[in-house]
Amino acid sequence: MRIHEAFDKTLKNYRISGKLLAERTNISPAHISQFRNNKGGLSYRTLEEMLDALEEIAPGSRTYFCLQLADYKQSVEKMVEGMDSNQKGDLMLVLAKSFKSYFSSAENGSKQKVKVST
């Protein structure tokens, strides 16, 4: 996957608009749009600034971008098979916290609140 495609996919996945990203950086919305649509390039420094802002807006988005860029297609099952028990335990904790956050979020009134103790 090309850099601009991975970046665009990341913004879409995290529902981050070019306008919001522009507000958090010193980069114009037009420059961000041109990059997303492969109509203009970026310096390394500008890309780094946008990725830093993305990570502040949506933690985990930088990792997502990197995985998209690497065209990461390894199945979850194979990834877990390669982990030792400590890594699997860490993964379980991360997933539990993620689900706890998701289900206890009151973002939109339609989500059911579920209490999970960890």
Q: Are 55 and 30 in contact (CB under 8 A)?
A: no
Two tokens at 23? 């507000």
pLDDT in tens, 29-65: 999 999 999 998 899 999 999 999 999 999 999 999 9
Predicted model pTM: 0.61
Rg (CA), the chain: 17
Return the CATH number of the domain spanning residue range 3-69.
1.10.260
- Domains of the chain by residue range: 3-69, 74-105
